[in-house]
Amino acid sequence: MDRMTSMETSMTKMKEMMKQMLEHSQSQPNTLQIANEMWNSVQPVLQAQRILLKSTTTLIWNS
C-alpha cells in the first residue's frame, strides 16, 4: 500500500469516527430535557404531599 492510499484510508476512518461522535452527541438529551423529565417525575409526589397536607390540616381543624 502506498503512502497516498494509507493517508486516504486514515482520513476515511477519522471522518467516520467524527461522524459517529457527532451522532452520539446529538442523541444526548440537553439540560432542559433532563430538567423537564425530573420535574414530571417529581410532580406526582408533590401533588400527593399537598393532598395529604390538606387532609391532615382539615382533620386537625375539625377535631
- What is the rounded distance in angstroms from the CA atom of residue 60 to the CA atom of residue 45? 22
Name, in order, each residue with C-beta under 8 angstroms of 24's C-beta and a sequence gap of 6 or more.
Answer: none
**pLDDT band with cut points at 50, 70 and 90 for residue 3:** confident
What 56-63 contacts at long range (C-beta under 8 Å, 24+ apart), as own/partner pairs, is none
Q: How far is CA 9 from the centre of its chain?
A: 36
pLDDT in tens, 22-54: 888 888 888 898 999 999 999 999 999 999 988
Structural domain boundaries in the chain: 3-62
The pTM score is: 0.47
**Model pLDDT, residue 1:** 60
- For residue 2, the 8-state DSSP code is -
Q: What is the pLDDT of residue 41?
A: 95
Q: Which residues contact 29 (CB under 8 A, 6 or more apart)?
A: 37
